Amino acid sequence: MRAARLFSVGDLRLVEEPIPNPRSDEALIGVTAVGLCGSDLHWFNEAGIGDSHLKQPLVLGHEFAGVTESGQHVAIDPAISCGVCIPCKEGNPNLCTSLRFAGHAEEDGALREWIAWPKQNLYSVPNTFSDAEACLLEPLGIAIHAVDLGKVQIGSRIGVFGCGPIGLLIIQAARAAGASEVFVTEPLQHRLDAALKLGACVWTKGEEVDVGFECAGENEAVEDALLAVKHGGRVVLVGIPKDDRTLFTASIARRKGLTLLLVRRMKFAYPRAIKLVENHQVDVQSLITHNFPLENIGEAFATAQRREGLKVIIHVSDKGLAV
C-alpha cells in the first residue's frame, strides 16, 4: 500500500508498505479521505508539536473517513484511550494519561491506503455524507467540546478569535447551542468572509461577550479574548501556539475574574457531530476548498501551509476496500 511518511522537517515521502494486520479488537479500514489540520502542519514544519517531537518516521493524518471490510462507511475517532486510568474512569477519556492519537508521536495516522483501528472508535455515517464530510466530523467534535467547555447558553453572545476551520465550526456549533450573537476577528480576508457568511460580525473593542474562543494559537488572539469577555466570563483556549507558550496580561484576567479553559481534543462528541450535520445545523461541506489525490501530497501540504482557502482534503481512495 502507499503511505505518506514524514522523515524530518518538510521531508514527506510516499512509500510502499505492507497492509497492516488488524488485531481482534480492530477493523481493517480502507482510507477514503483525510483532512489536513493545523497540527499536521506543526509536525510538517517543526517535526513536532508542543512537547512531542519526531522520533521516527511518522504517517500523519487524524481527520479521516474510510470503508470497513463489510462495506460500511465510517468516520473514525483518532484518539485511543486506555479506559483504566483515573481520568478515563472519571469520564474524561480525552485526558487519558496513556492516550494514543493518530498521526502523533509514535502512532501512525491515516495518510495511507489502509489502517487498522479499534472497532469501538468507528462511527457509521449516513449514506448522504461524502467521504470528505465524514472526515470533518473530527474537527466538528473539537468545536462541540469547546462549546461545551464554554457553557454556551440560549441567548449567549460569543467571540471567536481566529476563523480557520475550527473557528468556523465553533461559530456554527455555538449557534446550534443557542448563541444569539457571534463576534469575530481574523486577519485573512477569505476566512473573515466565511465567518461573515455564517452571520458573524467583526468584533470591535468595547463589544462585550459572555464567552470567548481563542482559535488562532496566537497571543494577540488570546489578548483580544480577554478584553472582549465580560467580568466573570469564560475564555476557551483552542489554538495551539507554535512555541508551546501562551502569554496574556494577567491583571486583566485577574480583575475580571475570568475562567480560562483549555481544549484537549474531545469526548463523546461523534454522535452529536453526526446529528448536527445530518440535520443541517452545521455545514461542513462549505469548509472544503481544496481537494488533492494522495500522489499530490506535497502540493496539498504546500497549499495548507500558505493558508489558502479553508480546508484541504486528501482523497486517498474513492473505492475503499474495493481497490
> What phi, psi does 132 have (nearest 5°)?
-65, -40
Q: What is the pLDDT of residue 67?
A: 97
Q: What is the DSSP letter of 192?
A: H
Question: Do 128 and 278 touch, CB atoms closer than 8 A?
Answer: yes
Q: What is the DSSP letter of 95?
A: G
Q: Is 320 left (phi over 0), alpha (psi -120 to 50) or beta?
A: left
Q: What is the pLDDT of residue 243?
A: 87
3-state secondary structure labels for all residues of 117-185: EEHHHEEECCCCCCHHHHHCHHHHHHHHHHHHHHCCCCCCEEEEECCCHHHHHHHHHHHHHCCCEEEEE
Q: Determine the straight-line distance between the first and last CA of the chain, rounded to whole angstroms.
A: 10
Q: What is the pLDDT of residue 318?
A: 63
Q: What is the pLDDT of residue 320?
A: 42
Query: Which grid coordinates are listed for 189?
Result: 480576508
Closest CA to 65 of 33, 26, 99, 21: 33
* Helices within the chain (DSSP H only): 38-46, 86-89, 131-135, 137-150, 165-177, 189-197, 219-228, 250-256, 270-278, 297-305
**pTM: predicted TM-score of the whole model, two decimal places:** 0.95
Q: Per DSSP, what are the bridge partners of residue 64?
A: 34, 76
Q: Are strands 100-101 and 114-118 parallel, antiparallel or unpaired?
A: unpaired
Domains, the chain? 2-136+284-322 (3.90.180.10), 140-262 (3.40.50.720)
Angstrom distances, CA of residue 237 to CA of 178, 225, 249, 307: 20, 9, 15, 21
Q: Is 166 left (phi over 0), alpha (psi -120 to 50) or beta?
A: alpha
pLDDT means per 10 residues, the chain with 323 residues, are 96 97 97 96 92 94 96 97 97 97 96 98 96 97 98 98 98 98 97 98 96 96 98 97 92 97 96 98 97 96 94 82 34
Neighbours of 193 (CB within 10 A): 11
Burial degree of 18 (CB within 10 A; 0-12, 13-18, 19+): exposed
